[in-house]
């Protein structure tokens, strides 16, 4: 009987320890730093949380916004380091860079970074670094520009981007090359913060007949200024961010479902919390057709005197008409 009692006690002790460990693990602290608040990054932030909670419902989150300031992004990284968060997630390139530079003893995930290799986050997208991996939102620049050119033949394309965002600089180079190949004149201008966006667009507006916006958080945070100037000059805007285009006068937007991307990042974080090694995980790209949204705005088209080709209307899964958006 004594042996049975001791065996039973040991079993109950092991079960109790397992439950305590599971309970403690379920309260992981995840730090999330985003470079600025706008619909796409807000959707990413929510997606990360929901992705983690699929496996760890009681996980806690420290949500921080750098408000477009690199110094603030660095301070947030130091805060997460001091808090000893279980995982730090950087939404967009500048915040991811700040986290990777500051945190060496905890996993860091980058989220929606266009060119993680060029940004110095990983040496190769084929695998992670020690403690570092994540998701990329490399956008289909050529297809986006060609789509705009189908809706309205473009002779001169305007492009405004933030010179301080590595992703934006990379995409500007791609857009310039695409325009060269399509025999479209390319007019670019740069900003360092969102307060400069309106003036930058006003500078190029008289010289262009279309504007292209790539993945650029500084620009998207000031999208209202872009569309205000563009509509005044009767210039169509093609955007890589369908989320922010839902509430602004963008002619068309073709890009990722950022909530889904955030959720994928959150699941990646959960896998690492379960024991997966970041260095063994390659950069994740959103390649499923269901991960991409095409939004067209028939109201804006009417104001600009443009008509969408029938196949584009059929392909679009988000259509704005008479002030209302319909999802298909």
Distance between CA atoms of residues 116 and 8, nearest Å: 53
CATH number of the domain where residue 278 is located: 3.40.50.2300
Distance between CA atoms of residues 125 and 110, nearest Å: 12
- Domain shared by 126 and 189, yes or no: no
- Domain shared by 216 and 305, yes or no: yes
DSSP conformation class of 57 = T
- Domain shared by 79 and 91, yes or no: yes
Whole-number pLDDT of residue 26:
65
Whole-number pLDDT of residue 256:
87
Whole-number pLDDT of residue 328:
84
Place of tokens 């950087």: 90
- Domain shared by 303 and 278, yes or no: no
Distance between CA atoms of residues 151 and 153, nearest Å: 7
- Domain shared by 311 and 207, yes or no: yes
Whole-number pLDDT of residue 19:
39
Whole-number pLDDT of residue 15:
42
Whole-number pLDDT of residue 10:
45
- Domain shared by 203 and 316, yes or no: yes
- Domain shared by 39 and 124, yes or no: yes
- Domain shared by 31 and 64, yes or no: yes
Query: CB of 299 within 8 A of CB of 322?
Result: yes
User: What domain range includes position 97?
Assistant: 2-136+258-289
30-49 pLDDT, tens digit each: 999 999 998 889 999 999 99
- Domain shared by 169 and 313, yes or no: yes
Q: Is 316 left (phi over 0), alpha (psi -120 to 50) or beta?
A: beta
- Domain shared by 176 and 101, yes or no: no
Backbone angles phi, psi at 278, to 5 degrees: -55, -40
**Residue 181 neighbours by CB under 8 Å, 6+ apart:** none
Domain tally for the chain?
2
pLDDT by 10-residue block (mean), the chain, 328 residues: 46 42 66 93 97 97 95 97 96 96 97 93 95 94 95 97 91 97 97 96 97 94 97 97 94 93 97 97 88 94 97 95 93
- Domain shared by 207 and 154, yes or no: yes
- Domain shared by 86 and 219, yes or no: no
Dig out the tokens for 318 from the structure: 């988000």
Place of tokens 């003893």: 105
């Amino acid at each position: 009987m004594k042996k049975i009692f001791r065996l039973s006690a040991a079993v109950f002790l092991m079960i109790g320890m397992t439950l305590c460990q599971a309970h403690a693990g379920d309260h992981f602290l995840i730090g999330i730093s985003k470079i600025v608040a706008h619909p796409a990054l807000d959707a990413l932030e929510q997606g990360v949380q929901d992705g983690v909670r699929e496996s760890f419902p009681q996980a806690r989150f420290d949500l921080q916004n750098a408000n477009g300031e690199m110094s603030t992004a660095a301070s947030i990284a130091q805060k997460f380091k001091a808090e000893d968060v279980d995982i730090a997630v950087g939404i967009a390139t500048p915040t991811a860079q700040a986290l990777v530079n500051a945190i060496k003893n905890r996993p860091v995930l980058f989220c929606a970074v266009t060119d993680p290799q060029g940004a110095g986050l990983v040496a190769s997208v084929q695998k992670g670094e020690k403690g570092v991996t994540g998701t990329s939102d490399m956008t289909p620049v050529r297809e986006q520009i060609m789509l705009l050119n189908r809706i309205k033949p473009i002779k001169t394309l305007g492009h405004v981007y933030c010179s301080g965002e590595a992703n934006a600089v990379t995409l500007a180079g791609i857009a310039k090359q695409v325009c060269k190949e399509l025999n479209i004149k390319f007019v670019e201008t740069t900003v360092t913060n969102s307060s400069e966006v309106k003036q930058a667009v006003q500078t190029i507006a008289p010289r262009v007949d279309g504007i292209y916006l790539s993945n650029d958080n500084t620009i998207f945070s000031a999208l209202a200024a872009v569309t205000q100037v563009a509509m005044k000059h009767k210039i169509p805007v093609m955007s890589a961010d369908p989320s922010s285009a839902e509430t602004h006068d963008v002619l068309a937007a073709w890009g990722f479902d950022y909530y889904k991307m955030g959720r994928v990042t959150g699941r990646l974080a959960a896998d690492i919390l379960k024991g997966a090694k970041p260095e063994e995980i390659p950069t994740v790209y959103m390649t499923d057709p269901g991960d991409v949204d095409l939004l067209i705005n028939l109201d804006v088209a009417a104001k600009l005197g443009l008509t969408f080709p029938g196949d584009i209307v059929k392909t679009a899964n988000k259509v704005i008409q008479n002030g209302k958006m319909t999802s298909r």
